[in-house]
Every structure is written in C-alpha cells, then in structure tokens.
Structure 1
C-alpha cells in the first residue's frame, strides 16, 4: 500500500510540473503576442507619421508656391532737375488788325493773301480812286490859276512902284496893289494845301501794312465796298513772332520768371522749338485756379496760330527719391506706394509726388530712399500680404 501511495504521489508531482510548464508557455506566448502587437502599433504609428509629415511638407510647399513674387527697387536719392510741363495754344505774339483808314470805296485790288510775308508800308489792297483822281486834277489846276493871279498881282505891284516916284500913283494905290499881291500868293498856298489834303486822302485809300510781319488773315475781296467801319480786313503777326499761351497751376506759375527758356513741341510735329518766357500773368483765374505764362517763339513756318502745343520748362533742382510711374498709385486717400518690410509683408506708404521727368516721378515726402518699393503689380496686393521680394535695378 505504501508503494502504491508513493506511486500516486509521484504522478501528482508530474502533473503539477506539467501544469506549471504549460502556464509558463502560455505566458511566453502572450508576451510574444503583445510584443508583436506593440511592434505592429509602432509600425503603424511610423507609417502614419511618415504619411502626415509628407502631407505637411506638401502643404508647406504649396503654401510657399502661392506666395507671389514681386519686383522691388531701392530708389535711393538723386539730384533731379525740375521740369514743369504745360499745354496751351499758339498765337501771334503781337497781332495787328488792319482795316480801312480812309473814306472807303470799292476794293479794286487785293495784293496779298494769308501766309504772305509783308514789309512795313507795303500795299495790301487798293480801293478805287477814280473820283479822287479827278478831284486831284481839279485842285492842281486851281493851283495854276492861283499862281497866275499871284504873278499878275506881283507885276502890277512892280509897275506901281516904278511910277510912285514920278507921282503918277499914290502911296495908297501901292498899298492896295501890295495887298492884292499878298492875297494872290496866299490863295496859291491854300490851293496847294487842298491838293496835299486830297492826295493824302487818296493815299489812305490804300490799305497798307503798319509793320513787317506775317499775314494771318485776309477778310476782303475785290469789288467789296469798305469803309472805316468795315472792321478787320487783314490780321498780321508783327515780325512773324509767335507765342505759346501756356496754362499752369498756381504752384507752377510761382516757380517761373521772365527770361526762362522752354522747349515747345506743337502737336503733329516731330521737332521742338526753343522759346523764352516774356510774360507771367499777374492774376489767377478764380474758376480753375490757373494762370497764364506767355512764351515767345521766333518765326517758323511750322508754327500756326490756334494750334495746340506742350511746353517743358526747367524749374531748378532738388534731391529726392525717384520712382517709375508704375510704382505710384492713388485712391481716395491720396498717392501711395507699397513697401516690403523686413518680414516680407506688404505695407502701404503714403507719399507726395513732385517733379515729373522722363526718368520717373520725384517723391518729395513719404520715402527716405532706402525702402524696398514694389515696382509693379501693386494694384493686386493688399496691406499685410506676404510676398517674395526680387530686387531689381532702378529702371529694370
């Protein structure tokens, strides 16, 4: 029995060992399973991280691609020769209207036309003088009659003076004959004066140029009856001189002085003419706040009164930043530019512009010249926008 009991005890230990060994195997299996699951989780987390990191990089790249690239310039400061630009109409500097100064009559001849150059005293038109010619002939004959009477009176006086010493003629007779002779001589003078007056009246029938110059208008034709009240028959530009009557603002007018030179370019011509300011208006038009500067021009066939022209007048120099027209914008708040700040963000900067030249516009307030100013496409930007600034040379 004891033997059998030992046998049973041995079986229980073996079973216990087997059970213990099985639990250990189960625990090892569970550990492996958890390790595998942990590895899978780690792998999945890595894959997720890699996938999302790639998306973030793509997002950042896309975001970078959306930031616009703009050209900017640093204008610096330059010495700028001031130029005032103005427009106006061409006209004769000294326009002389010419009319009939005589009694008038029917025009017999017109000797010049518009565009002709005439000299002082040159006959422009002739008025019929057939009546005046006959009157002149009659007065000339009257002079001959008066002269004959004067000669006869002188002869009678000479004979009387020879006879007075013999006592045939009294002193009173001599005095009477002397008076008769004097009256006859006076009548000769009167006749000659009347002839001179008629000749002067006849000469006034000729319409003549008061000075040398260019005929601008002809308003008379042969057969036309003219009088002193007929108005202007011819217009002449004295010495052919022209002028530009330029309209300028109060500010620009204050910068001008007599004697300044100006370059005048008429519309339709490919050349300019050098003129000189000879008069600056002493008053300003209350309606448009503008005044007039008159710029004298020498005679040139291309200059036509009534034509339109522009003028460029030098007005001194100033030191200021210079920007191209594309960089300056304006709205209801005034003129402004866009400046790229240190953080590559766009900032609005109000400016005041000055002289306009062929090289750009002077900025007299608002910029120091060291800023990065957006050169173009400013109209598509807003304040605070991020940009990529590409620095270019002035004028690039």
Structure 2
C-alpha cells in the first residue's frame, strides 16, 4: 500500500488551509442567526398568548351579595297564654232558694238581661201571697167603713147629736185603717219580690258558659255558682309576656291570636297591661280583647303576636346573619372586593328576614350565603342580587 506524503510547500494544500477559517466563521454566524430567530419566535409566541390567571384570581370564589337598604319593620312581641271571657259573671241563688223545678238554658245559649235561667218551686210562696193579698182587701174594707162613719158623723155634728171629740176619734179610726192598708200592701209587695227572686235570672245579656244545676236539686244561698255567663260574649287572651317585652306594650296595640289546635287566627286589641310583674317567673299579663267566635273557648291555650310599634331598619335573609362566641355578625364586601367582618345587633325575625337594628345602614354589599366558608380579608368575586 502506497502512502503519499504531503509535500511541504504544496500550493494546493496551502489554499485549503487558508479557506477553512472562513467556512467556520460563516457556520458560526449562521448558527447565531438561527438561534436569534428561534428565540424571537419563542418570544413572539409567548407574548401572543393570553396571560395565565394568577393564583389569587383562580382561587377567588364567586359569591352573591345584596344591598338591603332601609325598610319599615313592625316590632313584634310573641306570647302564649290562656283564653277567657273578658267579663265573666257568676250567677247563683239570690233569694232563699228551694227545689229547682226547671232549667231553661244550656251552655252555649245566648240570653237577654233578666232572662230566667232556672225556676225554683214556689207553691208555699204563692199561698203566702194570696193570704197577704186577702189581708190587704180586709184592711181596705175597714178603711172604707171608717171613712163612711166619719162622713156621717160630720153631717150630724151641726145638729148637736155628735160632739167634736167623737169626730176626732172617728178621724183617727179612719187614719189607722188607711195605715193598716198601706202596711198590708207593703207586706204583699215584699212577698211578691221574695217570690220573684226565687227565679235565677241573667244579670246581663251574654253567653252561657257553664251550668251546674239540674231539676230536682235543692239550692240556697250557699250553693255557690250555678251558671257562668260571658257578658256580651266578649272574650280575651291572658298573654304571658316577659318583663322586657311588657315595657314595650301599650293599650291599643294590635294583636293576632291563634288558638292551639286550630288554624284560624283572630284580630284583637290590647286593652290592659298588667301593672305588676310576677316575682317567680318575671312575667306580666297582657289582656287582649277578642270578638266572640266558636273557636275561642275559655280555658283553652293560644299563641299571640302583638305589634308593639314600627321602625326603619335593614332586613337580611337569615342565611346572611352568622353567629359565634363573639355574637352576631355579617360579611361585607369592600370596594376592593375583599371580605370584611361586621358585628351587628339583630331585631325582629319574621318571614321576610332578620331586621338589623345596629351595625348596618343598608348601603353595604352583604354576603347572602356561604359566609361560613369565607375568611376576613379574602378576595372574592361579588355578584349583586336585586333587592326583594
């Protein structure tokens, strides 16, 4: 195998060696340009893409907020108590009593003032009346005879047959006879009044509530109450109210009463507020006047809502009001959409929501729900809800 050894000083070899540095430079320049173009393309590609959301933006929850404003709020007091007749009249035996012959009414009947409720046997009293009436007639006859004798005596006194003393005596006899007539008439009237009192009568118009007498029963002044009558049929509720709530009530306040066991409610009006507080349970009685209705039964139990006044305050949904050991609070979204805790004082709770008496003016953006999952200072995305 033959090897050719380059000859030093060969002109062809010298030209190749002189050309290699130029090629290297061109290759290096081309590589640099390619790298620059690739970097520019990458930079343009990154710039043209939408910016990726930050971690805080991706984590900001969407919540519903409401600005409640101010609304008219009725201040209500809830109470329970018993039903009763507003004016209950016990009816018993007024006279000497006796055996009951007939009972004319039943519980639930309406009666007039003076109407007979029960009749007492009176055969003895009737005979006494007849006797006294006969005595009145006897005394009237004696008085008539005495008057006639006096008239005849006056006609004879002018002839001298009868003295003036005889006239005076006959006049006294006549006057005594008239007096006996008056006494007998008074005794007759007294007996008739006693007999009339044997009837048990209604003292006023109203509704019979109870009856505790039967025919054949012997009754007297010690027999107690035979009938109970609700005057005019008017009813009332004796509402048990706490000491704090009682101070807010006034005569004339409106109330709604619902008897237990029924669905009907009745409008009433507060007509008396107890001047004292029970020392045991720290409650007082608020008496609510009610019209008559068959569903209102004295002795029954009922609940009442009394309107003690009205005012203006923000009203929030119950889901917006939270509570912990520090008290009631709400979450408010500030201008930077950050959550802020605000302590509030709540008032009346009704179907329309919870009234806030302190802590809000109604213009704030308040978190409606999911407040338990938020933290003060947290970024959120609020969505406003129209005011109801």
Please, what TM-score do these two structures have when normalized by structure 2? 0.74
Deviates more, 1:350-359 or 1:286-295: 286-295
Instruction: Tell me, in whole angstroms, the C-alpha distance in 2 between the residues paired with 1:355 and 1:111.
Output: 52
Quote how far apart the aligned CAs of 1:198 are.
0.6
Instruction: Give the match for residue 248 of structure 2.
Output: 255
Instruction: Give the match for residue 209 of structure 2.
Output: 216
Quote how far apart the aligned CAs of 1:132 are.
0.9
Q: How does 1:272-283 map to 2 (within 5 A)?
A: 272-283=265-276
Instruction: Give the match for residue 357 of structure 1.
Output: 350
Secondary structure of the 1:103 match is: coil
- C-alpha RMSD over aligned residues: 3.2
Instruction: Give the match for residue 288 of structure 2.
Output: 295
Match of 1:366 among 359, 377, 380: 359
Quote how far apart the aligned CAs of 1:123 are.
0.6
CA contact 2:77–2:308 (8 Å) conserved in 1: no
Instruction: Tell me, in whole angstroms, the C-alpha distance in 1 between the residues paired with 2:130 and 2:278.
Output: 59
CA contact 2:77–2:307 (8 Å) conserved in 1: no
Quote how far apart the aligned CAs of 1:82 are.
1.3
CA contact 2:75–2:311 (8 Å) conserved in 1: no
Instruction: Tell me, in whole angstroms, the C-alpha distance in 2 between the residues paired with 1:246 and 1:395.
Output: 36
CA contact 1:83–1:357 (8 Å) conserved in 2: no
Instruction: Give the match for residue 234 of structure 1.
Output: 227
Match of 2:68 among 76, 81, 87: 76
Instruction: Tell me, in whole angstroms, the C-alpha distance in 1 between the residues paired with 2:104 and 2:384.
Output: 67
Instruction: Give the match for residue 206 of structure 1.
Output: 199
Quote how far apart the aligned CAs of 1:240 are.
0.8
Quote how far apart the aligned CAs of 1:385 are.
11
CA contact 1:75–1:323 (8 Å) conserved in 2: no
Instruction: Give the match for residue 92 of structure 1.
Output: 85
Quote how far apart the aligned CAs of 1:237 are.
1.1
Deviations 1:343-385 (A, max 9, x none): 998776543211222201101123444556554566x758669
Please, what TM-score do these two structures have when normalized by structure 1? 0.73
Q: Assess, with a 3 A threshold, how the Cα gap between structure 1 residues 278 and 70 changes in structure 2: closer, same or farther.
A: farther
Residue 144 in structure 1 maps to residue 137 in structure 2: yes
CA contact 2:314–2:360 (8 Å) conserved in 1: yes
Secondary structure of the 1:291 match is: strand
Instruction: Tell me, in whole angstroms, the C-alpha distance in 1 between the residues paired with 2:62 and 2:256.
Output: 38
Instruction: Tell me, in whole angstroms, the C-alpha distance in 2 between the residues paired with 1:288 and 1:327.
Output: 34
Count matched residues. 333
Q: Assess, with a 3 A threshold, how the Cα gap between structure 1 residues 350 and 288 changes in structure 2: closer, same or farther.
A: farther
